Structure formats: structure tokens, C-alpha cells
Structure 1
Amino acid sequence: MQREQAEARHWSIRRPARTGVARRGTAAELATAHGGVVHRQELAECGIDSDGIRNEVAAGRWFKLGRHTVAIGSPEIGLVAQWWRAVWESGAGARLDGASALCAHGMTGFRAQVIDVSLPARNRHHAVDGVRPHRLRQPPPAAKVGIPRVSVEMGMIHAGQWAVSDRQAALVICLPMQQRMTSTARLSLAWRGIGRSARRPFLDAVIADVTDGAHSLGELDFARMVRRVGLPAPTRQAIRCGADGRVYLDVSWDDVGLVVEIDGGHHALALNPVDDALRQNDRVIAGERVLRIPVIGLRLAPDQFLMQIRRMYDALRITQ
């Protein structure tokens, strides 16, 4: 029954729209799939030719937004319609990429200032207001359902490469992981396939951080960082006895009772915050001081976090 209804709807849309009322009804139904806009070719397939479009535009009911895009009802379009316009108007083979692809996949907490689109370098391309094109020799495959867009993993990598700052690059890598849009294995595999990247050292570190947590920060790396602010070398993976047995602390200075827990991206998922709180509370009850540092924070603001550790260490040493 549902299949018959879908087929009936399909053919009702595809029948030539001969009258103005039928034309407007058909266009409005087509536009619902694209946030309020429709492609000229799709209108033509339903019997709405250029004369019909011209008449509706002249009457102020439809609005041309480029060579291919027609807005139905209003020239003010939302984000979904802007994505479709960007893909249709940029050139053959265009697909959303970078942060725009991530938002189309459902990422929240970030709004791109421009719409990133990638397309084959050999194809003709067109400048579109608010759209940043990336002509690639071999663009990543595009989703076959819905708006053309690259995979979550390639969107993360490209968003990190094209970000305006390291802070923004870290954000667009962290958000999809925190929102469980992909897995650490899929992201790691996609990153290993990237040959060249202008931001490779930083992205190497950030992707390691979100896929491997505190373990990505090597012992020698952290020792070098704390030595820069005059702190002695700490103990890594110190063992304590907790309520549920032995626990391993990321970093500790046992001489003053200071513990530093370095939180990877996985610490925000599922029940990890509960486990972290229980472990931290146990250490405070035992008389130790605990500082928590997001591992990404050590990439983006190392001096500020290191000076916090130094101030706490000095304060505890005075009280000894």
C-alpha cells in the first residue's frame, strides 16, 4: 500500500503542469525536498518550461537564485536551501565538504561562515556568493542519498585543514567524535590515507588525542612541557588503591600530593564522566589535589595550563 501511494505521488508530481495553479503546486511539492528551492531541470521534467518559470518570477511568486536554482515563495532561504544552491550552482560534480558536510550530516555546536564545496578540478566551476570552492584532483566520494556531501571522516579532515585557526581545527575534529558521528577506527583509517596536509603536525596530534586520549601525549612530551615551567619530572601512570581496586593516574607529583588527569575526547562519552568523578573524589578524600586538563587544551593553550600546574605545585610545596 505504501509503495503504491509513493508511486502515485511520484507520477502526480511528474505529470506536466499545464495551468498556473498546477504549476505552482508541483513546484511547491518539489521544493519541500530541498528546503524551499528547486532545480530548473527538475521543473522541466515536470513540464514547467522556461516560459512558465519566467511568468512566475515576473509575478513575484518565484525567484531566480542563479543559473539553476529557483526559490519558491520567498527569496529568503534557510540553510538547507543554501546548501542545495551551493551544490547546484558551483559546477558539475560539486558536493558539500568540510564543516558544511559535517553540519549536513547532523553535527551541532558549529556554524560555518561560508559553505565549503569540493568538485573535480577538471570540471568547469562558477563563483557563488557565500560559497568557498575547492577544486580537487580526486574529490572524495559523495553520499548517494540526500544532498551530495562527503563522508563524516573526510569532512572532519578537510574542515581541520581549511579551518581559520588551530582552535577551530580542533573543534571540528572534536565535535563529531563527541557526538558519535563516527568511530576512532574510521577516522584513523581516513587520516592515514591523506598524503599531504599543510596542517599535518597539528592534525596528527589532535586526531591522536581524540582517538587515543591521554595516551597520545607521550611521556617525554609531557616531561618536556613541565620542565619548561621549572617543574620536576612527574610520575606517569601512578597506581592508587580506589574503591573498586587499583586505579592508574595520568600524572602525579607525590612529593606534594598533586595529581593531574589529562582527559581525552572519550572522557565526555557515555558513563566516563561518572567514572572520572568517582576517581577524582577518591583522590581528594585521600588528601590529594587534582587538576583536570583536556588533552586538546595542552595543544591549544599549553602555557596557561602549565602555569596552573606550576602555581598549584608551588602552593602545595609551601604547606609541606
Structure 2
Amino acid sequence: MKHLLPLWLCLATAAHAGLGANTQCIAPAKAGGGFDLTCQLLRDSLQTSGATRSPIGISYQPGGIGALAFKNMVTRQAAEASIAVAFSSGTLLNLAQGRFGPYSAAHVHWLYSLGMDHGVIAVRHNAPYNNLAQLLSALNEAPNKLIFGAGGSIGSQDWFKAALLARAAGVSHKTMRFVAFEGGGEALGALADDHVHVLAGDAAEIGQQIDRGAKVKILAVLSDKRLPGRWAHVPTAKEQGHDIRWPILRGVYLGPEVSEAQRQEWSAALSKATSHPRYDQLLERAGLQKMVLTGPALERMIQQQTAHYQQMAREFGVLR
């Protein structure tokens, strides 16, 4: 005789396959950058809130600043509910330029944004620049002497931030010297070792590296208003006379064939995590500002950012 389980129990059992002991967050770059930070925030918030019984794993999958991980999630791991992949506005920038091959933002499920980061302009601690005006003056006088490092290639968000600096200095972005690295952590290491002179990086990942001993100086934050906490003393580029802003959305996505029930389990877990009283503390530790979006609100944000990036790519001549 066959015993039929109630529908709600079938759905719960299926959904449980999404979050369990084998759940992973993929950081699509080398360790130490913003994707790594996003996965750490996901892991810590889920565990702190009790949404998972054991911490989820973090694995690193560098390749094309997210392109390899995106392709794998669309193809080989499309239905794998135990894997979430970290994304940032840099991911959307690459998609907007067609840098992920035939894939677009419509090919995955954008699950949750966990917080908002912002761009910063960093130099070595002993660099001869103490404000943005001094750096831009040096760039204007000798654009070939300053080497920019970036966690990504030409057309990446670090490259765009550097290109906007070049424009503010009154020189063509085509004249700037630029060295690409696989992730912000590697780029910051090159800055610390004096292989590059300027890093147009991200506040959260640079903050974590400072905590680990990196000796850098922050000349400006690329936000509309001053950031709180450790960055409160750092003026914005806008305050210094140059309206350069670069907000960075950070979150996670799932494969396109993950079931509705499994997506709902992830959403319920993240709703519990992001509404927990300690979530704000975790955000502060990560160096992020609160920006929790999911569902249609997140989709709208992604569409808006992607359209904006396509316009910028055309403007700077890097749209494929």
C-alpha cells in the first residue's frame, strides 16, 4: 500500500535540499576581495540568525571577474539549489557590456542584495598625495607616470572609476596606465607592494585589508554623502569639487533552474538573517551600508544599473 505525504511536507522536504550541510557560496574571484566579503556576510548572517544550523562553505572560482562562475551556474549547475554566487554592480557592468558571452542578466535568479558598498580612491600610505586635488594635478601633468591597479580588466568597475578620475584631471582615459588583477584583494596587494600607484577600489574590501595591516591612504570616497564609521573623516570626491559617485550593490544569485520552492527557502532564510537584530552589526563589520532588496524591487534595481552601465560603456567606447 502506498503512503502519500501531504503536499506541504513534500514541498518542505524538497526545499530543504537548498540549504543544508553542503550549501556553498561561490566568490567568483580570488580570496580577499568584495565577492569574498559578500560570501562571508552571507555565511555569518545566516548562522547568527539561526537560519542555518551550520555555517555554509565558501569556495573561490576566479575567471573573467565572474564570467566563469556565471557560465557554470547557467549551464552545469543551473538547478543546483545548494549554491549561491556572490555578485556586485561589477557583475552587472560586465553583463551590460556583453562580457559574459551569450548570457545576460535574465539568465539567473537574482536572489537578494545584502548591502551597498562604495568606491574609494586609495594610494600607498607614503604617497605624496594627501587629497584628490593633488592626485588629479599629478595625473594631469604626467598621465603616463601614474599606474592604476584594478580588480578587473579594461571595462571593469575599477577601470571605470579610474577613467572618471582621468576625465576629472582633464586627460583622456586612453592615456592612463592600467594593470588588471583577478579581484580587488590582489590589486590592493600590488598597491601595497608599490607595483601600482593608485587603486580605485571598494570601501568594504579595502577596509578589511586595512584591518589586516595594509598600509594605504584613502583620498576620497565615491558616495553622495560621507560614509559612517571608519570613513567618516574621509571627504567625498563631490566635497572636493568632483562629482564622481560609484555605489556598489552586493548580493547573491541562484541558477535559472532552481525550483520556486527552493528559492522561497533561500528567501525565507535571508529574510530572517537580514531582519535579525545583529545584522546591522555584521554590515558595519563588513563595511557596508544597508540595502536589502529582493523580488521585483531587486529586479528593478538591476535593470536600472544595467541600463546606466550600457550608457557609460558607449560613452567610453568599451561596449562590445
Alignment TM-score, normalising by the size of structure 1: 0.27
**Which of the pair is proportionally richer in helix?**
1
Q: Over alpha carbons, which structure has the higher Rg?
A: 1
Q: Which has the higher contact order (CA 8 A, sep 6+)?
A: 2
